Amino acid sequence: MIFSSLTFLLYFLPIVLLLYYIVPKKMRNLVLFVASMAFYFFGEPKYIILMLLSIFFAYINAIFIEKSKKHKKLFLIISIVISLGLLVVFKYTDFIIENINMIFASNINLLRLALPIGISFYTFQVISYVIDVYNEKAKAQKNFLKFATYVSLFPQLIAGPIVRYTDIDKELENREYKVENFSQGVRRFVIGLAKKILIANVLGELITAFSNASEPSVLFYWLNGIAVTLQIYFDFSGYSDMAIGIGKMLGFSFPENFNYPYISKSITEFWRRWHITLSSWFRDYVYIPLGGNRVSKLKWLRNILIVWMLTGLWHGASWNFVIWGLLYGILLVIEKLGGLKILEKIPTFFSRIYVVLVVMLGFIIFNSTDLASIAQNLGGLIGIGNIPFANAESIFYLKDYISIILIGGIFSTPIIKNIITKIKEKNSKLVNILEPITLSVLLVLCISYLVDGSFNPFLYFRF
């Protein structure tokens, strides 16, 4: 089940919210846990046991870590090995086998295990929890229901943001329920839904048209690159918005995950604005424990490359993800060794163009299926392969999708938000009247789009 489905919008979410608010407060964690299990069971029934095992082992080991001063490190290692072991088996085994077969010319059979939905997200949550307990930044949760509710919370279960236990530990015990927070949650959810359905899904249609194109051209390769760049942003940030919105409806404050990354003036800034909870997780639980930048230059370089190779692999078990991650690692090293000073001296317009171009090239790599398609999709941007600059097919799609590309470009910046803020400062009553009307129209458009049975994938299901 995904948030942008009629089943979720018309049945699951209303029923859960109704039950959640009619039961006594002390039973609301139970309602959330049961709802989260049902949500996961709907999409991945056979792997619900896997998630429960991950929850159970983290719960037990955290208690042992807190109680045992002598063997706390052993229990930490056991917990991390179990969590990462499950992730490696189900996500990376076939990738490892494929590479062994390629290197040694062997013929080991692939396991072809289905990837459990959300395993990358909930694995990182339980690992951060046991590490925080080990470092005494958090107390072990003795109530299994509360801990299981934290890990399995359906708003952030399959696509984040990556919520650390310390982010919501107090809210698991006692949450504030305000009409203002609920209304903010509804607003945030509808905006995220519109980003996903009205922008990302439409751009996805263009990407599909490109993959089925009979006559490639330079123009079509660029249209595809731009569409991929915007689609991934609106798909993922839209889902994060919906998760944060549902969290507010339920009384939780989830961390922000995106902050207009496409206005960044450097790749360093981009990763402070893009998938914030993931980059901060790798910083706190991998980069800093490796020594961060408080080591020799050689080890510092090693630390950065390790982090970004793992960042790439976290997104998927394929070499295109590794290349994508290492690309950013190399660029970040270059910026830290002097590139940032150069970017600060040039006009902001050019530094932002640099970031957008790098991000687009990165997402072309990210979205490719293999090394050959990476070469083809990047080469097509500069006409390698004797392809024409434009043809009738690419011009047709340019005319058909230019409006949604422009809309996507505008809404990927804070321009509209800043305009609304200025209007609100001068005439708040006008905004207060128009906002619910606008949100209602967006919701109706989204539901109409879904009823029509239009293109509605979710990219991050594969992570």
* pLDDT digit string (tens) for the chain, length 463 residues: 789 899 999 999 999 999 999 999 999 999 999 999 999 998 778 899 999 999 999 999 999 999 988 899 999 999 999 999 999 999 999 999 999 999 999 999 999 998 898 999 999 999 999 999 999 999 999 999 999 999 999 999 888 899 999 999 999 999 989 999 999 999 999 999 999 999 999 999 999 999 998 888 999 999 999 999 999 999 999 999 999 999 999 999 999 999 999 999 999 999 999 999 999 999 999 999 999 989 999 999 999 999 999 999 999 999 999 999 999 999 999 999 999 999 999 999 999 999 999 999 999 999 998 889 999 999 999 999 889 999 999 999 999 999 999 999 999 999 999 999 999 888 888 888 899 999 999 999 999 999 887 655 655 544 5
pLDDT of residue 215: 85
pLDDT of residue 158: 83
Which of 195, 248, 265, 315 is catalytic? The answer is 315
pLDDT of residue 127: 97
Q: What is the pTM of this model?
A: 0.94
- Closest by CA position to 153, among listed 55, 23, 241, 11: 55
CA atoms within 13 A on the CB side of 191: 17
pLDDT of residue 69: 80
Give the span between the Cα atoms of 336 and 350, in whole angstroms. Answer: 19
**What are the extents of the domains in the chain?**
6-175, 181-451
Query: With helix as H, strand as E and coil as C, how does the chain read?
Result: CCCCCHHHHHHHHHHHHHHHHHCCHHHHHHHHHHHHHHHHHHHCHHHHHHHHHHHHHHHHHHHHHHHCCCCHHHHHHHHHHHHHHHHHHHHCHHHHHHHHHHHHCCCCCCCCCCCCCCHHHHHHHHHHHHHHHHCCCCCCCCCHHHHHHHHHCCCCCCCCCCCCHHHHHHHHHCCCCCHHHHHHHHHHHHHHHHHHHHHHHHHHHHHHHHHCCCCCCHHHHHHHHHHHHHHHHHHHHHHHHHHHHHHHHHCCCCCCCCCCHHHCCCHHHHHHHCCHHHHHHHHHHHHCCCCCCCCCHHHHHHHHHHHHHHHHHHHCCCHHHHHHHHHHHHHHHHHHHHHHHHHHHCCHHHHHHHHHHHHHHHHHHHHCCCHHHHHHHHHHCCCCCCCCCCCHHHHHHHHHHHHHHHHHHHHCCCHHHHHHHHHHHHCHHHHHHHHHHHHHHHHHHHHHHHHCCCCCCCHHHHC
Give the span between the Cα atoms of 283 and 305, in whole angstroms. Answer: 12
Active site residue 275: no
